[in-house]
C-alpha cells in the first residue's frame, strides 16, 4: 500500500497587468485548441479519468493542454530540486512561479523494504485522479463545503464547470518519493462559488 498525502488550497487568483511575464514562467495565454495535444504515454488516461467524473454531472469534457503540462512540470521540477518533492502549491504572489492556474497535487512515498532498500512505487495517473475524485464523499453541495476535518478541493477542481483544459506532470526525488501536479484552465475553487 502506498501513503498519499493530499493538499489543496482554495484559490483566489490575482492577475498582474505586466506585459512582461517573469522569467521562467509560462505565458498567461487563454487555452485554445492549438495549445492542446495528445496525452503523453505516462499520462494516458488523464482525460478519461477526469472526464468520467465530469460526465456524471453533465459537464463539458476537458482537453489535454501541453502548455499546462509544461507549467505543471516546471513546478514539479522546482519542488524536486529544491524541496525534495514537498507538497506545496505555487505561491500567489508575483514572481517566477506565481500561481495563475488551478492546481491539484499528489505525493507518494517510496516503497520501503525490510532490508532497508527503497524503490519507486508504481502509480498511474488514473490512481492519482481517483484519489482526488474520491473526495466527493466529503463534499456537501448544499453548503458548498467539505466535511469538517476533510478535504474536497481536489474533487471540486476536477468538476469546476468553467474548466476546459488540464495538463499534468510528475517529478521523482532522490529518496524515490514522487510529486504529481495537474494544472487546470480556467481555474476553479473560488470562495463562495459552487463548482457546478
Edge-to-edge strands, sheet with 165-172: 4-7, 102-108, 178-185, 165-172, 63-64
Compute the distance between CA of residue 81 and CA of residue 75 in angstroms, rounded to an integer.
10
Compute the distance between CA of residue 11 and CA of residue 45 in angstroms, rounded to an integer.
26
- Would you call 184 exposed, middle or buried from its count of C-beta atoms within 10 A (0-12, 13-18, 19+)? buried
User: pLDDT (tens digit, 9 = 90+) per residue, 40-98?
Assistant: 999 999 999 999 999 999 999 999 999 999 999 999 999 999 998 988 999 988 888 99
User: pLDDT (tens digit, 9 = 90+) per residue, 87-141?
Assistant: 899 998 888 899 999 999 999 998 888 888 888 899 999 999 999 999 999 999 9
Amino acid at each position: 500500500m502506498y501513503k498519499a498525502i493530499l493538499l489543496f488550497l482554495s484559490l483566489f487568483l490575482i492577475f498582474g497587468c505586466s506585459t512582461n511575464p517573469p522569467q521562467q514562467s509560462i505565458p498567461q495565454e487563454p487555452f485554445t485548441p492549438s495549445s492542446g495535444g495528445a496525452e503523453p504515454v505516462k499520462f494516458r488516461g488523464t482525460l478519461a479519468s477526469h472526464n468520467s467524473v465530469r460526465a456524471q454531472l453533465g459537464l463539458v469534457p476537458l482537453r489535454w493542454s501541453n502548455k499546462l503540462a509544461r507549467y505543471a512540470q516546471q513546478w514539479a521540477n522546482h519542488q524536486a530540486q529544491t524541496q525534495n518533492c514537498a507538497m506545496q502549491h505555487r505561491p500567489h504572489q508575483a514572481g517566477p512561479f506565481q500561481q495563475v492556474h488551478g492546481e491539484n497535487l499528489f505525493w507518494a512515498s517510496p516503497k520501503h523494504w525490510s532490508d532497508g532498500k527503497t524503490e519507486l512505487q508504481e502509480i498511474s495517473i488514473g490512481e492519482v485522479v481517483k484519489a482526488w475524485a474520491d473526495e466527493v464523499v466529503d463534499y456537501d453541495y448544499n453548503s458548498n463545503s467539505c466535511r469538517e476535518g476533510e478535504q474536497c478541493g481536489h474533487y471540486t477542481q476536477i468538476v469546476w464547470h468553467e474548466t476546459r483544459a488540464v495538463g499534468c506532470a510528475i517529478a521523482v526525488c532522490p529518496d524515490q518519493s514522487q510529486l504529481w501536479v495537474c494544472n487546470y484552465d480556467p481555474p476553479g475553487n473560488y470562495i463562495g462559488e459552487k463548482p457546478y
